[in-house]
Amino acid sequence: MAINILMPALSPTMEEGNLAKWLVKEGDSVESGDILCEIETDKATMEFEAVDEGVIGKILVADGSEGVKVNTPIAVLLEEGESADATPSTAPATTEETTGKTTEEITEETLTEAEAPAATAPVASTPVEQDLPAGTTFKSQTVREAIRDAMSEEMRRSEDVFLMGEEVAQYEGAYKVSQGMLDEFGPKRVIDTPITEHGFTGIAVGAAFAGLNPIVEFMTFNFAMQALDQIVNSAAKTRYMSGGQMTCPIVFRGANGAASRVGAQHSHDYASMYAQIPGLKVVMPYSADDYKGLLKSAIRDPNPVIFLENEILYGRSFDVPEIEDYTVPIGKARIWREGDDVTIVSFGIGMQYALEAADKLAEEGISAEVIDLRTLRPMDTETVIKSVMKTNRCVTVEEGFPVVSIGGHISATIMQEAFDYLDAPVINCTGKDVPMPYAANLEKLALVTTDEVIAAVKSVTYR
Amino acid sequence: MAAAKKPKKANLDKDELLDFYREMLLIRRFEEKAGQLYGMGLIGGFCHLYIGQEAIVVGLEASAIEGDQRVTSYRDHGHMLACGMDPKGVMAELTGREGGYSRGKGGSMHMFSREKNFYGGHGIVGAQVPIGAGLAFANWYRGNDNVSFAYFGDGAANQGQVYETFNMASLWKLPCVFVIENNKYAMGTSLQRGSSTPELYTRGAAFGIPGEAVDGMDVLAVKAAGAKAVAHCRSGKGPYILEMNTYRYRGHSMSDPAKYRTREEVQKVKDERDPIDHVRELLVGGKHATEADLKAIDKEIKKVVIEAADFATQSPEPELSELYTDILAEAN
């Protein structure tokens, strides 16, 4: 029976890829393990192997096709003696071929909300307050590229800036963030470390004390738990303990929070945990332009900066101003959408739910103001308070745990500074109070959703 | 791997011996005074005295050149005095006063001097080791001739991050002298009870780092070993480990009654291996100095320490507004 060979998912967050090159042609016999084609993802080019044996009956997606969605049939595999005209009885007939089942679930369930607006920025994504010169042009860029550009620009600007971490140099980043940087800056400034977070973080902190400007990439912030002592006890506290003599100009950056189906130890959002520590600055951007501008500011900042990125956002494109040396100040929130009925405060990937909710609420006649905090320490509560004084209602959105959350802090701040303006209790939409489950349906349940934001807004607006 | 053989004694030099005597005595008298002020309630919290270990920092500083860095644990007063920091500023930090090196915000365990390249003063056991390698990394990155001295104790020698650091320091050939001050007790746990292999100088063997055991009570042996280690690092061959066999006379901190060892054990070291007595004997026995000369030095040191204590008790406490300063550096 003929079976479809499907476009495979080659990483937890891959939705589509390019079919770079077929290495077999119609009529070729293949065995399990033979390389069928090369597939380009946004991170890498990977070889795709046959799982079953048979004859390539038909190639459905040609060489060089771009944006082929995961699970799209790309070829038909015939059994020995089967006619080339045979077609698979049902569409995605086999699961073995591409580990398709899992992928399908990710695509259709987990990532629907997360990834739907991937190709184009959300409708509401044109921020209302942007202090850019008249006539500024923009280019579409992924978050991944924006981070790379920010680092490269700062490394061109100062010899003291260097990048170190696991797989940052020859591998070009586990998430392909540092593409091309080894070539440009050489192994002295783009440094592969062994897998020893505690040790290399301490070395980087020492180098920063000595006046260099390290950028430490954690493959994900989950692994920075190994280095927490050096981040908190050494990097954050030394300036104070030295009566202002010492500085620690260092950036700790890497993926933070849930990706997709990677389990409890790879899905933790550390925003509120780091935001608690005096002596640190904590930045968690949403859009590529903010990633670029804020990372450049973080690298120039004379203090330790925790720069929390998001794996799902890495491949997302946004308009980035084509301005030389584009920086965004740390500690300033950004109003993405103006509104009168409710203030939705979020940051990082939470912004996606906030903006989607605002779009849907607008269709129902509810006007939401959406604020992206961008920086969590120091936090721009002034912008939030000002907005709440106008809308009288507030909903916070974040992916992290609910206990001692950023939303909890914002609620307390609003209560203290704008109590009389509130027409309803503030609601915090957060991730659920559980370690992240692996099962697709449970993971979806554990994460904050657009629907929850909409429900919260309706609750505070008494609709 | 060098064995634990005794390094060759450096040539005796009268002036140098007198300097060593003076510097070690300053540390001892300073620490005795600190212990006294602690007892009077003028110094609070934790206070870890360096008495007994003076020869290590004094002997190693003899090989340091301008720009070399040092970093250590919380038992740090001796290191600061040995690298030339002002005893007044150190003592005033112990009393938590405005005139202290950290303006009263760090305390006994947390002092720094950019001017003297002293990078602390760290309270988490072992954390200063990668930091020391990071200082060496900066030297390597800048291509200068400086080395960093990362001091840590026999207790810290069992911390995981020390071995992560050994691996990278050797891999990248960082100019770092790892100085293990083996005073035989990690707080109350003796070396034998806490270390599977008591020969700490061999702990770098797996990473290809040469190491040697040194009589840390003999300032001349320390100096000779330090010179060799520093030459190794400056020549670009990577890190070097020195295990300094020493002994602390006092408890782990002021609040430690030290019940884990006998009075006789302590007394035996004081009688037979005291680093200051050793230099005194060399000076007097070798007719480099008379008892009267040494008395004059004692008097001079006593004066310095009393002045430091006076300063430390007279300097005002920090202004209350200082609570919220020095948390972040101003962005340029």
CATH number at residue A93: 2.40.50.100
pLDDT digits (tens, 9 = 90+) for A175-211: 999 999 999 999 999 999 999 999 999 999 999 999 9
CA A445 from centre of chain? 19
Query: Cβ separation of A239 and B329 shorter than 8 Å?
Result: yes
Q: Is the pLDDT of residue B248 over 60?
A: yes
Domain shared by A284 and A377, yes or no: no
CB atoms within 10 A of CB A62: 9
Return the higher-pLDDT residue of B255 and A385: A385
From the list A234, A185, A192, the residue with the least C-alpha distance to B168 is: A192
- By CB neighbour count within 10 A (0-12 exposed, 13-18 middle, 19+ buried), where does A330 fall? buried
Is residue B217 a part of any domain in this protein?
yes
Residue A392 sits in a domain whose CATH number is 3.40.50.920
Alpha-carbon gap, residue B27 to B235, rounded angstroms: 32
Q: Is the pLDDT of residue A1 over 90?
A: no
Is residue B171 a part of any domain in this protein?
yes
Using CB atoms, which residue from A243, A247, A279 is nearest to B103? A243
Alpha-carbon gap, residue B252 to B268, rounded angstroms: 18
Q: Is the pLDDT of residue A99 over 60?
A: no
Both ends of chain B: CA-CA distance in Å? 48
Q: Is the pLDDT of residue A116 over 90?
A: no
> pLDDT-based confidence at A12, cuts 50/70/90?
confident
pLDDT digits (tens, 9 = 90+) for A215-233: 999 999 999 999 999 999 9
Alpha-carbon gap, residue A37 to A50, rounded angstroms: 9
Is residue A196 a part of any domain in this protein?
yes
Domain shared by A12 and A99, yes or no: yes
Is residue B83 a part of any domain in this protein?
yes
Is residue B322 a part of any domain in this protein?
no
The residues, ordered by sequence, that sit 6+ positions from A399 with a Cβ below 8 Å of its Cβ are A257, A258, A269, A348, A349, A350, A430, A431, A447, A448
- Structural domain of B226: 14-312
Is residue A116 a part of any domain in this protein?
no
Bridge partners of B186, per DSSP, are B189
Query: Cβ separation of B130 and A205 shorter than 8 Å?
Result: yes
What 8-state DSSP symbol labels residue B151?
E
Average pLDDT, chain A: 90
> pLDDT-based confidence at A33, cuts 50/70/90?
confident
Average pLDDT, chain B: 95
Domain shared by A98 and A193, yes or no: no
DSSP code string of A136-194: --EEEEEHHHHHHHHHHHHHHH-TTEEEEETTSSTT--TTSTTTTHHHHH-TTTEEE--
B178 φ, ψ to 5°? -90, 115
Q: Which two tokens stand for residue A67?
A: 């944006």
- Structural domain of A20: 3-111
Return the higher-pLDDT residue of A260 and A276: A276
What 8-state DSSP symbol labels residue A224?
G
Is residue A406 a part of any domain in this protein?
yes
Q: How much is the pLDDT for A80?
A: 76
Is residue A139 a part of any domain in this protein?
yes
Domain shared by A292 and A389, yes or no: no
Given A86, A111, A136, which residue is the final one in a domain? A111
Answer yes or no: are the C-beta atoms of A370 and A337 closer than 8 Å.
yes
Is residue A136 a part of any domain in this protein?
yes
Query: Cβ separation of B330 and A208 shorter than 8 Å?
Result: no
How close is the nearest chain A Cα to the Cα of B145, in Å? 14
- By CB neighbour count within 10 A (0-12 exposed, 13-18 middle, 19+ buried), where does A85 fall? exposed
Is residue A200 a part of any domain in this protein?
yes
pLDDT digits (tens, 9 = 90+) for B25-63: 999 999 999 999 999 999 999 999 999 999 999 999 999
Domain shared by A134 and A66, yes or no: no
Q: Is the pLDDT of residue A124 over 50?
A: no
| Number of compact structural domains in chain A | 3
Q: How much is the pLDDT for A132?
A: 87
Q: Is the pLDDT of residue A339 over 80?
A: yes
Q: Chain B residue with minimal CA distance to A305?
A: B328
Just list the catalytic residues of A: 197, 266
3-state helix, strand, coil in chain B (%, to 5): 45, 10, 40
Domain shared by A216 and A259, yes or no: yes
Residue with tokens 């988490």: B124
Residues in chain B with CB shorter than 8 Å from the CB of A300 are 331-332
Chain A residues with at least one Cβ partner in B under 8 Å:
162, 188, 193-194, 196, 198-212, 229-230, 233-234, 238-247, 249, 278-279, 281, 297, 300-303, 330
Residues in chain B with CB shorter than 8 Å from the CB of A233 are 123-124, 127
Q: Is the pLDDT of residue A100 over 50?
A: no
pLDDT digits (tens, 9 = 90+) for A269-287: 999 999 999 999 999 999 9
Region label for A248, one of left (φ > 0), alpha (ψ between -120 and 50) or beta (otherwise)? beta
Is residue A328 a part of any domain in this protein?
no
Alpha-carbon gap, residue A328 to A252, rounded angstroms: 18
Domain shared by A67 and A136, yes or no: no
Region label for B125, one of left (φ > 0), alpha (ψ between -120 and 50) or beta (otherwise)? beta
Region label for A135, one of left (φ > 0), alpha (ψ between -120 and 50) or beta (otherwise)? left
Residue A378: asked if its preceding bond is cis (omega within 30°), the reply is: yes
Residues in chain A with CB shorter than 8 Å from the CB of B110 are 238, 241-242
- Residue A219: its H or E element: strand A213-220
- By CB neighbour count within 10 A (0-12 exposed, 13-18 middle, 19+ buried), where does B293 fall? middle
Alpha-carbon gap, residue A209 to A203, rounded angstroms: 10
The Cα angle at residue A450 between residues A447 and A453, in degrees rounded to 5: 95
Q: Chain A residue with minimal CA distance to B129?
A: A202
Domain shared by A152 and A253, yes or no: yes
Query: Cβ separation of A202 and B130 shorter than 8 Å?
Result: yes
Using CB atoms, which residue from B111, B120, B327 is nearest to A278? B327
Q: Is the pLDDT of residue A122 over 60?
A: no
Return the higher-pLDDT residue of A95 and B111: B111
Alpha-carbon gap, residue A196 to A188, rounded angstroms: 19
Given A111, A145, A168, which residue is the final one in a domain? A111
A40 φ, ψ to 5°? -100, 125
| Number of compact structural domains in chain B | 1
The residues, ordered by sequence, that sit 6+ positions from A193 with a Cβ below 8 Å of its Cβ are A164, A165, A166, A200, B168
Helical axes B54-61 vs B275-285, angle rounded to 10°: 60
Is residue A426 a part of any domain in this protein?
yes
Domain shared by A316 and A338, yes or no: no
Domain shared by A229 and A151, yes or no: yes
Instruction: Determine the average pLDDT of the residues in B284-313.
Output: 96
Q: Is the pLDDT of residue B115 over 60?
A: yes
Q: Which two tokens stand for residue A156?
A: 């061109």
Bridge partners of B151, per DSSP, are B179
Domain shared by A133 and A261, yes or no: yes
Torsion of CA A283, A288, A290, A291, to 10 degrees: 40
Domain shared by A356 and A378, yes or no: yes
Q: How much is the pLDDT for A108?
A: 36
Residue B215 sits in a domain whose CATH number is 3.40.50.970
3-state DSSP assignment of residue A336 = strand
Residue with tokens 């280095």: A227
Given A55, A84, A111, which residue is the final one in a domain? A111
Query: Cβ separation of B127 and A233 shorter than 8 Å?
Result: yes
Residues in chain B: 332
3-state DSSP assignment of residue B76 = coil
